[in-house]
Amino acid sequence: MVGAMASENVVNTIAKKRDGGVLNQGEIESFVRGATDGSWADYQLTAMLMAIFLRGLNDTETRALTLAMMHSGRVLKLDSIRAPKVDKHSTGGVGDKISLHLAPMVAACGVVVPMISGRGLGHTGGTLDKLESIPGYKVAMPLDAFRAQLDRIGVGIIGQTADLAPADGKLYALRDVSATVACIPLICASILSKKLAEGTDALVLDVKFGEGAFMPDLASARELARRMVAVSNAAGVATRALLTRMDEPIGRAVGNALELVESIECLQGRGPADTMELTLALGEHMLVLAGRCASPTEARAELLQVVRNGAAWERFLDMVRAQGGSVDHVQYPERLPQAPVVEAFKTQRGGVVTAVRARRIAEIAHGLGAGRNRAGEPINPAVGISHLAKVGERVALGGELCRVHAGTPAAARLAQQQLDTAFVLGPDAVIPVALVVEIIS
């Protein structure tokens, strides 16, 4: 009888949202609890996800869902670490290796950076996959060991543990196979349930929009950013979102080891201009929100200083060493995984690069083996695209637009054919546009 009543309550809750009703906190907590203890069947969870996808959640419901998912597992307590704690999250882009060098840069400025990151999703690359290009680097770590590392060196980048927001893992798996991924309140709750469980004092969000992003336009990115900032601030974590363009790849490399090399170059003060500009923009707000600097100008000066004096590089080496990675391979990047076939892709006509289609570049890199078609599938850390021409650059007839790093000659030939649709050239100069379009706090 009790089981029948519980099942009836589940059905009633699903029907309420299906019909456009507003769920109360108890109903939302029942849904999340059902995802972790099995009291809701998978088909019931999926029905609720579809109801939310179609009917949406208001701000109060979104906050309740986020907090319930956050408390579905363990919450990391970092109160014993006296320094301010701040994290950064990107909604996913092409060539987005920013976290790899930003985290040690900010840590070198005296702020603790507990970063729990993910693997590649769809056409976008994953921070963990890039770090695993370093032989021995361990992205799996118990939370107690992670806390000890943060206390010791002030920075760490690991993957989500099984006991951190477990409801998100269950619900995301169902969203992935039920066409309910692209839902702003569900995206908000998924991201923030993990970030709030980290125990940070502040959070900076890089919400991307454009051809290579999950959010196709500025309006949808703004709505996602607004939701996340409101929920996170209400939960007591000072939060700011930067809306950034994602139409061409960030930097000049797409692919795991190739992007790692570019991050190493950033830490040594010789990274691509757009990569460094976005890094500094995000780092400024991290240091200001953490209370380490009074203004973005002061914060930028601090970040540039720790790059110039080598402190950021040393902190990166500390992190690699602490997580079992080979320091030798990052000090000598030519020892990182190398593709056996490297070929230049050259233009058949000269002109100014007016577009580099980020999603197309990502799809080609994915096809070379840099990404996965299903969870758990192995990737090739060495393959991808490097030496990308940037929008606004003039390329002569027969000039190089990029280089293909492939596992076989056949794969390289296919990528060469596909690259014809990735670049657009024109006769006229291109007016540069700002990467950071808007800030929401």
Domain 86-331 belongs in CATH node 3.40.1260.10: no
Greatest pairwise CA separation for the chain in angstroms: 78
pLDDT value, residue 231: 94
The mean pLDDT of 147-155, rounded to a whole number, is 96
Name the pLDDT band for 2 (thresholds 50, 70, 90). Answer: very low
Q: How many CA atoms lie within 13 A of 88 on its CB side?
A: 35
pLDDT band, residue 102 (cuts 50/70/90): very high
How far is the C-alpha of 93 from the C-alpha of 355, rounded, in Å?
A: 16
Tokens encoding 382: 């060495």
| Choices 3.90.1170.30, 3.40.50.720, 1.10.8.60, 3.30.70.3000: CATH for 338-426 | 3.90.1170.30
pLDDT of residue 84: 95
As a whole-number percent, the residues of the chain with pLDDT over 70 amount to: 97
The CATH number fitting domain 2-56, selected from 3.90.1570, 1.20.58, 1.20.120, 1.20.970 = 1.20.970
Q: Report the pLDDT averaged over residues 160-182.
A: 87
Segment 135-160 mean pLDDT:
94
Place of tokens 């995000």: 282
Report the Cα–Cα distance between both ends of the chain, in Å, rounded: 49
Task: Give the angle subtended at the CA of 373 by the CAs of 368 and 376, to the nearest 5°.
Answer: 110
Do residues 413 and 395 make contact, with C-beta atoms less than 8 angstroms apart? no
Give catalytic residue positions: 89, 168, 175, 190, 194
pLDDT of residue 121: 61
Instruction: Kindly give the interhelix angle for 59-70 and 184-196, rounded to the nearest 10 degrees.
Output: 40
pLDDT in tens, 285-339: 999 999 999 999 999 999 999 999 999 999 999 999 999 999 999 999 999 999 9
Sign, Cα dihedral of 382, 212, 272, 156: negative
Q: Which two tokens stand for residue 183?
A: 């839902």
% of the chain beyond a pLDDT of 90: 82
More confident residue, 162 or 175: 175
Average pLDDT for the chain: 93
Residue-level pLDDT at 123: 66
- The pLDDT of residue 319 is 98
pLDDT, greater one: 431 or 282 = 282
Q: How confident is the model over 384-421, as pLDDT tens digits?
A: 999 999 999 999 999 999 999 999 999 999 999 999 99
In the sheet with 394-395, reading across from the earlier edge strand, the strands are 394-395, 351-356, 423-426
Please report the pLDDT score of residue 1 as a whole number. 41
Residue range 171-180, pLDDT digits in tens: 988 997 888 9
The confidence score (pLDDT) of residue 161 equals 83
Q: How many CA atoms, within 13 angstroms, populate the side-chain half-sphere of residue 43?
A: 2
What mean pLDDT do residues 251-276 have?
A: 97
Averaged pLDDT, 424-439: 93
How confident is the model at residue 118, as a pLDDT? 78
**Interval 178-193 mean pLDDT:** 91
Name which of 18-22, 148-152, 174-178, 355-359 the model is least confident about.
174-178
What is the DSSP secondary-structure string of 82-113?
-S-BEEEEE---SS--HHHHHHHHHHHTT-BE
pLDDT tens per residue across span 195-251: 999 889 999 999 999 988 888 899 999 999 999 999 999 999 999 999 999 999 999
Which tens digit of pLDDT belongs to each residue from 337-353? 999 999 999 998 889 99
So where are the chain's domains? 2-56, 86-331, 338-426
For 48-101, write each residue's pLDDT tens digit: 999 999 999 999 999 999 999 999 998 988 888 989 999 999 998 899 999 999
Chain CA centroid to CA 145, Å: 23
CB-based contact 198:417 (threshold 8 Å): no
- Between 24-28, 180-184, 199-203, 270-274, the lowest mean confidence (pLDDT) is in 180-184
